[in-house]
Structure 1
């Protein structure tokens, strides 16, 4: 009986530590971006293999950006499911034309337009959800999104969502794995300002 109680207490302690660590990390680099940061002027490939400038892709709509890679089997499917729920929330509250979701690969060497297209299909992405792959190294791009220098710890996969206004300016960083309703709310706010 004491072993079961000890195992139970240990699992609660580990769970509490994980939640506390997640909550502490979630508050670093979150919230409004001041001053606003222009989208990095980098080339990306869309699912059709077309080269596009990221700022041109972001301009004109409030956009929520997540970083991911198609070969990920741990956190990326959860992020995809979260964006799928956001997509449903956007469809139910109307005004979808002024809002967009963008999955941005952090693996330009491993991901291809075809693998991105397949990943989006698995996530049931609709017309307001696109995916792109940086043409070059993604470290500088990730640095701008995270608001940290390129030599900072960018090896870990970020689960934040980065919000751009219609002028292609980064204006908000979410906590780790935000609630879909929170993403919808921020997009609604940005689309109406």
Structure 2
């Protein structure tokens, strides 16, 4: 008698197990954040609609495949949700990965005039190499609409400052924002979330920008 599991059923079980792990990681990270002094995130004060929209300075990025491209080229002709991460992070970044995993699942329900994409920007160029970015994406089951890329060391602070909209000190890597930044198809920053937004909130914004 053949007792080998059905391949489709086995794949489904693996996906369900992986999702349970991601949910567990998110719960553990939330518990850790609850014990974290809020002052760590005080430098990220700007949130909501960005008016007027902001065009970030164009910089070179290297993505998870080793390809080099301009930031605005990567954002152009897409409706994008962007987060900042670093691959060696064990505190908030796993939660950010789980968040984008949840947003990724909802992308097919977003009605947009342009492709919707997710972009994780590495902010530790010394460690966020293409292989490290690739491994980080695979950890959170990233699909073809989710990319990761790292700027040069000299451009990291410029990007973080422009994204935050704040003149306060950025702090060290461990203090980086858990905000999500949404861009329209002309590569302009149109919305900043609060720290740790809900997946549905991000999707609502992407839906709105997709009709611009």
TM-score (norm 1): 0.83
What's 2:27 paired with? none
Q: 1:147 aligns with which of 158, 165, 188?
A: 165
Which one of 147, 156, 179 corresponds to residue 130 of structure 1? 147
Aligned residue in 1 for 2:97: 80
- Aligned equivalents of 1:18 and 1:144: distance in 2? 28
Query: What secondary structure, in the 3-state scheme, does the structure 1 residue paired with 2:133 have?
Result: helix
- Residue pairs, 1:98-177, within 5 angstroms: 98-137=115-154, 138-149=156-167, 152-155=169-172, 156-177=175-196
Shift of 1:35: 1.3
Q: Is the 8 A contact 1:163 1:171 kept in 2?
A: yes
Deviation at 1:109, TM superposition (A): 1.2
Instruction: Tell me what 1:192 maps to.
Output: 211
Q: 2:61 touches 2:151 (CA, 8 Å); kept in 1? A: yes
Give the counterpart of 1:42 among 59, 62, 67.
59
Kindly indicate whether the alpha-carbon contact (under 8 Å) linking 2:112 and 2:211 is maintained by their aligned counterparts in 1. Answer: no
Do the aligned partners of residues 95 and 105 (structure 1) sit closer, same or farther apart at CA in structure 2, a change above 3 Å counting?
same
Q: Which of 45-54 and 151-160 deviates more?
A: 151-160
Offset at residue 153 of structure 1 (A): 3.2
Gapped regions of structure 1 (runs ≥ 5): 1-16
Deviation for aligned residue 1:39: 2.4
C-alpha displacement of 1:20: 10
User: Residues 33 and 93 (structure 1 numbering): CA distance in 2 closer, same or farther, change over 3 Å?
Assistant: closer
Question: RMSD in angstroms over aligned alpha carbons?
Answer: 2.5
Quote how far apart the aligned CAs of 1:51 are: 1.1
Partner of 1:83, secondary structure, is helix
Q: How many residues align?
A: 176
